[in-house]
Structure 1
Amino acid sequence: MAACSECGAASRATDFCDNCGAALGAPTPAPPKPAAPAPPAAEECAACGAVRYGRFCEECGHDATQPVPEGGVAVPTPAPAAPPQETWTAVVSADRAWFEEVRARNGPDAAGLAFPQFCPERRFPLVGRQLTIGRRSRQRGVEPEIDLTGPPLDPGVSTVHAMLVPAPDTGWQVVDLDSTNGTTVGDGNPLLTPNTPRRLADGDRIKIGAWTIITVHRD
């Protein structure tokens, strides 16, 4: 007796099932594949008149299921661009007035100092978490970001003299790193307390060494 592949009943016949009449031994036909969905028809956007495929208009974004607002679809106003971050620059130069002040303050010890005849300005962008001010020393492994090695060499600048660090909110601060000759900001001010940050304003002049002025500018 053969088992029907359709209903599972045993059948004495060998050609057709006694129970359901299905042909015995014939493969069960595979179900037809569903037809692929038809692509959305092209329609005209009620808001802007552009050709639209689907619910939302690619030109103006109008939802075809919603009524058109008076005056058409409002174009969203782009968010204002974020203001550019502040950028600062340190300008290094030799200053005759500062040189004369150092000579007058140090007396005979400064008699051998000579103001450099040629000292071009150098510019250093203030970027990063800290910028060391000093003189390069391969022997000590010192590579300051603001390198005052020269020429001309300012003998009053320590190998590791000071440091510029970002202020908590914006801007920069200067820290004297317990240098030999100290650091001053502005005219007539005392030496900075070592290892104590001092807030800088746009245009402040940092005085170090025998003639070196570092002026910070907000670009």
Structure 2
Amino acid sequence: MTGCTEDHATATGEYCDVCGLRLRGATAAPPAPAPPQSCPSCGAAREGRFCEVCGYDSALGPPPQSAAPAPPPVPVPADPAPAGGTWTVVVRADRAWFEEVVRRDGPDAAALQFPAFSTERRFALDRPQLALGRRSRSRGIEPEIDLSAPPVDPGVSALHALFVRRDDGGWDVVDLDSTNGTVVGAGPDPIPPNTPVPLADGDVVKVGAWTTLTLVRQAS
């Protein structure tokens, strides 16, 4: 029989059967082995602070996660070409139209002179509607088809006409009650004001004393 630290008689063993205290002379059980540790960086088994495989210092804690690669940009499809293709108006100083205006004895026809030099200009019809006229900063008028560049046609109003895209992709022209009117094609009379008039590829719109605008369609 072996006594415990409280002098209780007990059977052989490590702890007293009466009070549960450790018996005198009993050998403590060896501590349980520490669970194996792994490297927080590469996952290999390690025994000390530094990993023998990758050398990572475990005292630094888990390594920061690398940012996931950004996904490739999704291509944005280009806007489809409007129905009916793309359209342009070609602006010219037209002598035949000038002579017709003089023949009709239009406003101030006797004082008119056909410009000695002029260049062809092109304007893309790239929005639902575009105003035709001459820029006037004092009146806040900024037409998309601006005919205020020299040689200035005195017969064109500041806001003369409007090109309006139709649902089928074609175009109409609307005279904005201009002073000298708008003529379409070979017709002798101006079109009625504030009334859409359909246009086709190659149609010619005549305004002012010598200005013509020809519609040109490029197929998409």
The CA distance in 1 between the partners of 2:107 and 2:122, in whole Å, is 33
The CA distance in 2 between the partners of 1:159 and 1:184, in whole Å, is 17
Q: CA deviation at 1:83?
A: 7.9
Query: Are 2:206 and 1:207 equivalent residues in the alignment?
Result: yes
- 2:127 maps to 128
- 1:115 maps to 114
1:36-115 map, 5 Å: 84-85=81-82, 86-106=85-105, 109-115=108-114
Return 5+ residue gaps in structure 2 as ranges.
1-19, 21-78
Deviations 1:38-63 (CA, angstroms, capped at 9, x unpaired): xxxxxxxxxxxxxxxxxxxxxxxxxx
Q: Secondary structure at the match of 1:106?
A: coil
Q: CA deviation at 1:106?
A: 1.8
- 2:9 maps to none
Q: CA deviation at 1:188?
A: 2.8
Q: Closer, same or farther in 2 for the Cα pair 1:120/1:196, shift >3 Å?
A: same
- The TM-score with structure 2 as length reference comes to 0.61
Percent identity between the aligned chains? 63
The CA distance in 1 between the partners of 2:158 and 2:120, in whole Å, is 20
- Which letter maps to 2:152? L
The CA distance in 2 between the partners of 1:134 and 1:108, in whole Å, is 18
Q: CA deviation at 1:189?
A: 3.8
RMSD: 2.8
Which consecutive segments of 4 or more residues in structure 1 shift more than 2 A? 82-85
Q: CA deviation at 1:151?
A: 0.2
- The TM-score with structure 1 as length reference comes to 0.61
Deviations 1:171-214 (CA, angstroms, capped at 9, x unpaired): 11100000000000011342111000000000000000000000
Return 5+ residue gaps in structure 1 as ranges.
1-13, 15-81
- 1:155 maps to 154
Aligned residues: 148
Q: Which has the larger radius of gyration?
A: 2
- Which letter maps to 1:90? V
